[in-house]
Amino acid sequence: MSREFKFDHLCNPASIGDAVHMYAYRMDRQDDQSYKLVMQSRLSTDADGIALCLGLQAEARVELEQIILALQAKISPSTLFTPV
């Protein structure tokens, strides 16, 4: 995600006071060949920070539709979750 979005201004570790929190997880293989979901990282920001992530003009109020359109433009079919 950091290749597609600007993340260097996000709080790491996450700040409880921020409105938006993002979590990244990884799958760890266990000794018994099962998998365990483990949190990799946790970031946080506010609405202005989300606008910066998406490359939008920083405004006091970022419209939800702008955020959705910017996200959809960056999602390719290979990054979509498809159940097996």
Domain boundaries along the sequence of the chain: 20-77
Q: Tell how far CA 62 is from the center of its chain.
A: 17
Helix axes 47-54, 64-74, angle to 10 degrees: 30
pLDDT at 60: 46
CA atoms within 13 A on the CB side of 40: 7
46 or 63: which carries more pLDDT confidence?
46
Mean pLDDT within 9-26: 86
Q: What is the pLDDT of residue 32?
A: 92
d(CA 74, CA 1): 10
As a whole number of Å, the CA-based R_g of the chain is: 16
Say if CB 52 and CB 10 are below 8 A apart.
no
